[in-house]
Structure 1
Amino acid sequence: MLPEFGQLALIFALLVAAIQIVVPLVGVRRGQAWLMAYARPLATAQALFLIISLVILAYCFVVDDFSVAYVAKNSNTALPTAFKISAVWGAHEGSLLLWVTMLGCWGLAVSWFSKSLPLEMVARVLSTMGMVSVGFILFTLETSNPFERSLPSMPQEGADLNPLLQDFGLIVHPPTLYMGYVGLSVVFAFALAALMGGRLDAAWARWSRPWTMAAWIFLTLGIALGSWWAYYELGWGGWWFWDPVENASLMPWLVATALLHSLAVTEKRGLFKSWTVLLAIFAFSLSLLGTFLVRSGVLTSVHAFASDPERGVFILALLGICVGGSLLLYAIKAPTVASVGRYEWVSRESFLLLNNLLLLVAAFAILLGTLYPLIIDFMGMGKLSVGASWFNFMFVPISVVLGLVIALGAMARWKADDLKRLGSETIAAMVAAVLLGFAMPLLMNGEMNWKVLLGLGVSFWLIGATLLDVWKKARGRLSRIPQLGMSYQGMVLAHLGVAVTIIGVTMVANYSTEVSVRMAKGDSEMLGDYRFEFVDAGHVEGPNYVSDAIRFRVYDGEREIALLQPEKRRYNASGSIMTEAAIDVSLFRDLYVSMGEPLADGAWGMRLQVKPFMRWVWLGAIFMSVGGLLAMLDKRYRQRKNAPVNNARGNTATEVTV
Structure 2
Amino acid sequence: MNNFIVELGHIALVSALVLSVYQFVIVFFKNEENYIIIPNIPVLVFSTTLFSFLTLIYAFLVSDFSVDLVSKFSHSSKPLIYKISGTWANHEGSLLLWILILTFFSAICSSLKLPERFHSLLSSVQGLLNSLFLSLCIFTSNPFHRSTLIPNDGLGLNPILQDLLLAFHPPVLYIGYVGLSVSFSYAIAALINGEIDKKWAALIRPWIILSWVALTLGITLGSYWAYYELGWGGWWFWDPVENAALMPWLLATALLHSVIVLEMRNELKAWTILLCILGFSFSLLGTFIVRSGVITSVHSFASDPERGLVILTILFLSTAIPLCIFALKANLFHKKTEINFFTKEMSLIINNFILVVSSFIILIGTMYPLFLEILNGSQITVGAPFFVASLSPFMISTLFFMGIGPLIYWKKNSLVHFIKIFRYPLLFTLLIFLFFITFLNLPLMFVVSFSLSFWLIINIIYLILDNTNILTFFKKDSKIKSLSKYHLAVCVAHIGVSVFAIGAVSENYFNEEVIESVKPGEKISIGKNYLIFDGITQKMGPNYISEIGKLTLLNIDGEIITQMFPEKRLFPIERQSTTEVAIHRKISGDLYAVLGDGDSSKGYTLRIYYKPLVSLIWMGALLMAVGGVFSLIANYKKRQIHQNI
Please give the TM-score of this superposition, normalised by the length of structure 1.
0.93
Q: Give the C-alpha shift of residue 328 in structure 1.
A: 0.9
Give the Å deviation of 1:336.
2.3
Write out aligned runs for 1:92-107 (5 A). 92-107=91-106
- Residue type at the aligned position of 1:562: T
Q: Does 1:598 align with 2:605?
A: no
Partner residue in 2 for 1:525 = 524
Identity among equivalent positions (%) equals: 37
Letter in 1 for 2:189: A
Match in the other structure for 2:309: 313
1:601 partner SS:
coil
Rounded to whole Å, the distance in 1 between the matches of 2:415 and 2:230 is 48
> Does 2:147 match 1:146?
no
Distance 1:475 1:270 in 2: 29
Counterpart amino acid of 2:541?
Answer: G
Q: CA deviation at 1:109?
A: 2.5
Q: Structure 1 residues 247 and 468, CA, compared in 2 at 3 Å: closer, same or farther?
A: same
- List gaps (5 residues or longer) in structure 1: 645-658
Q: Distance in 2 between matches of 1:481 and 1:520?
A: 64
Q: How far apart, in 2, do the equivalents of 1:636 and 1:198 lie?
A: 28
Amino acid at match of 1:120: R
C-alpha distance in structure 2 between counterparts of 1:607 and 1:38, whole Å = 63
Aligned-residue offset at 1:473: 2.0
- Counterpart residue type for residue 199 of structure 1: E
Give the alignment partner of residue 383 of structure 2, picking from 380, 387, 398. 387
- Return the alpha-carbon distance in structure 2 between the equivalents of residues 293 and 227 of structure 1: 18
**1 CA distance for matches of 2:566 and 2:392?**
34
Counterpart residue number, 1:647: none
Cα drift, residue 466 of structure 1: 1.6
Is 1:264 the equivalent of 2:263? no
Does residue 322 of the first structure (1) align with residue 318 of the second (2)? yes
2:470 to 476, 496, 499: 476
Is the contact between residue 270 and residue 339 of structure 1 (CA under 8 Å) also seen in structure 2? Answer: no
- Distance, in Å, in 2 between the alignment partners of 1:462 and 1:494 is 11
Task: Using the TM superposition, give the Cα deviation of residue 438 of structure 1 relative to its aligned residue in structure 2, in angstroms.
Answer: 4.5
Structure 2 residue 208 is the aligned partner of structure 1 residue 212: yes
Q: Which moved more, 1:200-209 or 1:98-107?
A: 98-107
Q: 1:120 offset after TM fit, Å?
A: 2.7
Quick one: which amino acid aligns to residue 427 of structure 1?
R
Aligned residues: 635
Distance of aligned partners of 1:559 and 1:438 in 2 relative to their CA distance in 1, 3 Å threshold: farther
- The whole-number CA distance in structure 1 between the counterparts of 2:373 and 2:94 is 28
Is 454-463 or 343-352 further displaced after alignment? 343-352
Residue 16 of structure 1 is matched in structure 2 by 19
Instruction: Name the residue aligned to 1:159.
Output: 155
* d(CA) in 1 for partners of 2:73, 2:570: 17
Q: Shift of residue 500 of structure 1?
A: 0.6
Whether the aligned pair in 1 keeps the contact of 2:342 and 2:418 (CA below 8 Å) is no
Instruction: Work out whether 1:506 is the aligned partner of 2:505.
Output: yes
- Are residue 173 (structure 1) and residue 166 (structure 2) matched? no
Shift of 1:340: 5.5
Matched, 1:130 2:130: no
Aligned match of 1:252 in 223, 248, 252?
248
Q: Contact conserved, 1:549 with 1:565, CA < 8 A, in 2?
A: yes
Q: Give the corresponding residue for 2:552.
A: 553
Provide the residue aligned with 2:72 in structure 1: 73
What CA deviation, in whole Å up to 9, does each residue of 1:11-70 have, x standing for no partner?
Answer: 11111111111224544xx5x3x4223232111111111111111111111111111001
Residue in structure 2 matching 1:6, options 2, 5, 9:
9
Shift of 1:306: 2.9
Please give the per-residue CA displacement for 1:338-378, whole angstroms capped at 9, x wherever unaligned. 44544312211111111111101100100011111111111
Structure 1 CA distance for aligned equivalents of residues 448 and 577 of structure 2: 41
Q: Distance in 1 between matches of 2:183 and 2:626?
A: 20
Aligned equivalent of 1:577: 577
The DSSP-based 3-state class of the residue aligned with 1:607 is: strand
- Paired with 1:414 and 1:605, the residues of 2 have a C-alpha distance of 59
* Deviation of 1:74 (Å): 0.5
Structure 2 Cα separation of the partners of residues 172 and 6 of structure 1: 24
2:298 aligned counterpart, secondary structure? coil
Contact 1:342 1:415 in 2 (8 A): no
Amino acid at match of 1:499: S
Partner of 1:652: none
CA distance in 1, matches of 2:286, 2:530: 43
SS in 2 for 1:584: strand
1:638 aligns with 2:639: yes
**Is structure 2 residue 117 aligned with structure 1 residue 120?**
yes
Offset, 1:415: 2.8
Per-residue deviation, 1:482: 7.0
8 Å CA contact 2:533–2:550 kept in 1: the answer is: yes
Aligned to 1:553, what secondary structure does the other structure show? strand
Displacement of 1:111 after TM fit? Answer: 2.8
**Which amino acid is the alignment partner of residue 617 of structure 1?**
I
Q: Is the 8 A contact 2:520 2:600 kept in 1?
A: no
Give per-residue Cα distances to partners, 1:276-311, cap 9 Å, x unaligned: 000000000000000011111111111001301001
Q: Structure 1 CA distance, aligned partners of 2:334 and 2:394?
A: 30
Amino acid corresponding to residue 146 of structure 2 in structure 1? R
Residue aligned with 1:87, SS: helix
Q: Letter of the aligned partner of 1:118 in structure 2?
A: P
Q: Aligned partners of 1:341, 1:365: CA distance in 2, in Å? A: 29
After TM superposition, the structure 1 = structure 2 runs for residues 167-566 of structure 1, keeping only pairs within 5 Å, are: 167-339=163-335, 341-439=337-435, 446-476=440-470, 483-557=482-556, 558-566=558-566
Go from structure 1 to structure 2 and tell me whether the alpha carbon gap of 1:381 and 1:69 turns closer, same or farther (over 3 Å shift): closer
Most deviating of 449-458 and 331-340: 331-340
Residues of 2 paired with 1:426 and 1:302: CA distance? 46
Which deviates the most, 470-479 or 514-523? 470-479
- What is the aligned partner in structure 2 of residue 110 from structure 1? 109
Cα separation, partners in 2 of 1:577 and 1:482, compared to 1, 3 Å: farther
Please give the root-mean-square deviation of Cα atoms over the aligned residues, in Å: 1.9
Aligned to 1:78, the other structure's residue is in SS state: coil
Q: Secondary structure at 2:168's aligned position in 1?
A: helix
SS of the equivalent of 2:329 reads: helix
Inter-partner Cα distance in structure 2 for 1:567 and 1:96: 33
* SS at structure 2 position matched to 1:154: coil
Query: Structure 1 residues 483 and 41 mapped into 2: Cα distance closer, same or farther (>3 Å)?
Result: farther
Asked if structure 2 preserves the Cα contact closer than 8 Å seen for 1:37 and 1:119, the reply is: no
Task: Answer yes or no: is the 8 Å Cα contact 2:500–2:620 preserved in 1.
Answer: yes
Q: 1:91 corresponds to which letter in structure 2?
A: N
**CA contact 2:470–2:480 (8 Å) conserved in 1:** no
What's the secondary structure of 1:579's corresponding residue? strand
Instruction: Look up the equivalent residue of 1:326 and give its one-letter code.
Output: P
Cα deviation, residue 171, structure 1: 1.1
Structure 1 SS opposite 2:584: strand
Deviation by residue 1:316-348 (Cα, 9 ceiling, x = unmatched): 111111111111111111322444544312211
